[in-house]
Chains A and B, each alone.
Chain A
């Protein structure tokens, strides 16, 4: 062996990933946009201190202040009740982003778990995949409506109206959107399971649990990442659908999806009413997509080396 005394220290894994991530221009742009959006909804309300639900108590004044175009007093204009759109965008974004992220996490967790179990353990495959088919075949909207109707009041009574609704919506979206990722993950696991490195791990005596954690999961990261980024968008939209049907958050409680639906009626006259929430949702989805792309590349050592 040549100079065995000089051995490189193992490079830190997170350092490697970050170095690669930084070279992905789209992902960096996405990260900046998403960070700006998060800053906007989290820090924004402390700077722009107008109450998003404030309606002018004087009826005449209220009518005068409806559907205003952008002014210095209301940079994004006002809605049909004269509420400040900027403040509503901030408040709505907080809820939308939180719902999107948490619902996506729940759905990815369930989807990956079911997918890995079905793909890896042959005995569970039939049962789990038929269950997945069952969920896929269920008409989602009626299911969500029934879910809300049955458990809505009880959970709201237990946790308070806002936290209760949030939990219910996140849970409802999570348990009804995991099927596609489960199918994708199962397919990947079935292919990976027959690869020789999994066979090698078994011949070493690695128990199934660690074979899955060490060999299977890191290799199904790519499809999971794609499903996750798409899942955020889907969750934000589904939440707005639920709110629109009156089963999500109460009508005066702003979310991006809610603002979008409220604005649809006035789209011809006041296009800015739908433009802002639409833009915010699109930007979120796009930036999350790019971040997912960059992260997937950064986690793959074959790409990282280049």
Chain B
């Protein structure tokens, strides 16, 4: 593996998050929504891992399970040497300062009845026994760091614009000097010019404080801008995990290929000739995923094995992990399909 030598801050092993379905008169347990179904990845210290996928594929659930805002059904989440998934409540509370979260909706993530100072100060209130002056000093420091005027300290969230609110959310996440921040679509609710500001702020803060991000988004161009490596999720599983440039240049997994073909091209001449891969059908229900590969119902390249067996995430090229039978080295069909795959990539190249 490429990331053998650098220090892994976060290791996720076979994380599963099922939400039970209760039906009938007696609310009996009749099934599970498999929001996250066996996800494994590592995040290296100081890097940004982008997590992309369409709505409902389990991105946010991964983010929340990582911080144990949900209790995972199975699997391990090792952050800085400790397994978050099995920590006792008290140990978890002690661990909380190291991992924080920036939420999607800056309006909903701030308590409307608390002042800005109280919101940013809440983590300090919970985890330090500093004097009031010292807390105030730290709150002002954080407001400076995220670019909020100190005069705003006594105002309430409704008095701010969306971008400013997101800055408040970021300041709160930074309050305890975390190592790892889960950014759960932090820019989805903002308009484009503000998105750029917030993403640049996140990058600046990363450089300044040496933060590690899990950046969840469905905005591929933003992920391309900020992430070092990108994981593509489909229906609760990771389809492909590759370094950013490699993924955007040549996606391996058929789903990643289809997803990336949907990114608009800024150059109108290229845009005119851009070939989109339009997937047929809908995403299957996560309560009842297909038997084989989760993507087999819509995959243009699916073959028999795909309908029978779930592919595992495997390293097929240095640093690139793909969960697809097309790339399985010991697959008896790999020789022929691999060849077919190669020609298809050539075709892609020609059309561009």
Contacts and interface: CB of A to CB of B under 8 A. Distances in A.
Interface of A: 1-2, 4, 6-8, 10-11, 195-197, 199-207, 210, 214-215, 218-219, 299-302, 305
A48 B112 CA distance: 50
Contacts of A300: 113
Contacts of B259: none
Nearest to A210: B126
Contact of B101 (A1, A2, A200, A215): A200
B150 A4 contact: yes
Contacts of A207: 93
B151 A196 contact: no
B153 A197 contact: no
B172 interface: yes
A64 B103 CA distance: 79
Contacts of A199: 64, 69, 101, 103, 109
Interface string B151-162: 101101011000
A1 B149 contact: yes
Interface of B: 64, 67, 69, 92-94, 96-97, 99-101, 103-105, 108-115, 117, 122-123, 126-127, 140, 144, 149-151, 153-154, 156, 158-159, 169, 172
A201 B34 CA distance: 26
Contact of B69 (A4, A11, A197, A202): A202
Contacts of B100: 203-204
A6 B67 CA distance: 39
B122 A206 contact: yes
A219 B154 contact: no
A203 B126 contact: no
Contacts of A305: 156, 158-159
B151 A8 contact: yes
B156 A301 contact: yes
Given A1-B144, A4-B150, A7-B153, A201 B122 contact: yes
21 contacts: A1-B144, A8-B154, A10-B153, A195-B108, A197-B109, A197-B111, A199-B69, A199-B109, A200-B101, A200-B103, A200-B110, A201-B111, A203-B99, A204-B96, A205-B94, A205-B126, A207-B93, A219-B112, A300-B113, A301-B156, A305-B158
A96 to B, nearest CB: 34
Contacts of B172: 200, 204
Nearest to A207: B93
B96 A203 contact: yes
Contacts of A2: 149
A301 B69 contact: no
Given A204-B96, A205-B97, A206-B122, 17 more contacts: A1-B149, A6-B151, A195-B108, A196-B105, A200-B101, A203-B100, A204-B122, A204-B172, A205-B92, A205-B94, A205-B96, A205-B126, A205-B127, A219-B112, A299-B113, A302-B156, A302-B158
A196 B63 CA distance: 14
Nearest to B176: A204
A206 to B, nearest CB: 5
A10 B117 contact: yes
Nearest to B106: A196
Nearest to A301: B156
Given A203-B100, A205-B93, A301-B158, A7 B123 contact: no
B351 to A, nearest CB: 43
